[in-house]
Amino acid sequence: MTVTLKDAAAISAMRRAGRVVAEMHEACRELVRPGVTTAALDEACAGILDRRGATSNFLGYPGVTRAFPGVLCASPNDVVVHGFPDDRPLSDGDLLSVDTGAVVDGWHADAAITIAVGEVDDEARALIAATEAALEDGIAAAVAGSRIGDVGHAVQARAEAAGFEVVREYAGHGIGREMHEDPAVPSHGRRGSGLRIRIGLCIAIEPIVVAGSPRTHLRDDGWTVVTADGSRAAHFEHSVAVTADGPVVLTAP
C-alpha cells in the first residue's frame, strides 16, 4: 500500500475541483424530474466541466469490456453503482444516484448524491436520509489519530440503526493525483482497526446502502452493478481532506 499525504497547495487544488463537482450535482438536482433522461444530465455536466476548464475523470475510464462512456454514473433504483447515462426517461418514484468527478490542474475530486424523482415512498425517503447521515458520520470519524476502521464503523452503525444494509463489495478510496489511490475506505469496519489516519490524508468516503440484501451482481456490460434481489440502493459520497482542524469536505458547494 502506498499512501500519499497532501500539502495545503494540493488540498486547495482539490477543493477547486470539488467545487466543479458540487456545481454538477446542483445542476442535476435542478434538472431531475419525471421524463428527463440521464443522458441529458450527462450533457449538462459535460458543459459545466468545459466552462470551468476542468476535465472528466470518469469519461474514458478503462474497464474490462469497454471504457466508461459518460462524465457521470447514473444509477437508478436497484443499480448500485456505475450505471451508464442513457436515453431512457426517469419515472415518478425513481431513486437516482449521480456519481461524478472533475480534474483541475491534475488534481481529482469525486462525489455522489442520490436524488428522489418526483414523489417517492416512505422507504425511499428513509433510505436516502440514512445513507446521507451515514456519510456525515463517516466524515466526522475521519480525524487525525483515528483509523480507517473507525470511519467504516461509523457508516455501518448509522445505516444498520435505520434498518438498512451497507454494500461491502465496493469501497471508498484515497484520492489525489489519481481518482483511485490507497487506502481503500470500506463502509463497514471495526473500531480501532486499519490504517492510522494522518493530517494530509485525502479520501473519498462513499456509503452505498440498500433496502434489502447487500449482495450485488455485475451485468454483462462489465460496469453496471445491481442488487442481487432487486432492492433499491442509495449512494452518497464526498472527497474529504484530513486537516489539523478536522475533516474538510472538498466537494461541498
DSSP string, 167-226: --SS-EEE-SSSSSEEEEE-S---TT-SSBP-TT-EEEE--EEESS---EEE-TTSS-EE
State the pLDDT at residue 64: 86
63-114 pLDDT tens trace: 988 999 999 999 999 999 999 999 999 999 999 999 999 999 999 999 999 9
Radius of gyration of the chain (CA): 17
- CA 8-98-201 angle, to 5 degrees, is 25
CA dihedral 37, 111, 20, 39 (to 10 degrees): -10
Backbone angles phi, psi at 90, to 5 degrees: -70, 150
Distances (CA, A) of 188 to 73, 120, 134, 148, 239: 23, 27, 11, 10, 18
Q: How far apart are CA 174 and CA 2, in angstroms?
A: 10
Backbone angles phi, psi at 59, to 5 degrees: -60, 125
- Residue 171, by phi and psi: left (phi above 0), alpha (psi -120 to 50) or beta? beta
State the pLDDT at residue 1: 86
CB atoms within 10 A of CB 90: 24
State the pLDDT at residue 176: 98
Stated as kind and residue range, the H or E segment containing 132 is helix 122-141
Place of cell 469519461: 59
State the pLDDT at residue 65: 87
pLDDT tens digits for the chain (253 residues)? 899 999 999 999 999 999 999 999 999 999 999 999 999 999 999 999 999 999 999 999 999 889 999 999 999 999 999 999 999 999 999 999 999 999 999 999 999 999 999 999 999 999 999 999 999 999 999 999 999 999 999 999 999 999 999 999 999 999 999 999 999 999 999 999 999 999 999 999 999 999 999 999 999 999 999 999 999 999 999 999 999 999 999 999 9
The three-state (H, E, C) secondary structure of 84-115, written as one string: CCCCCECCCCCEEEEEEEEEECCEEEEEEEEE
Q: How far apart are CA 204 and CA 47, in angstroms?
A: 24
- Residue 228, by phi and psi: left (phi above 0), alpha (psi -120 to 50) or beta? alpha
The domains located in the chain, with CATH, are: 8-249 (3.90.230.10)
With H, G, I as helix, E, B as strand and everything else as coil, classify residue 247: strand
Q: Strand pairing partners for 209?
A: 166, 234
Q: Which residues contact 167 (CB under 8 A, 6 or more apart)?
A: 80, 187, 208, 209, 210, 214, 216, 233
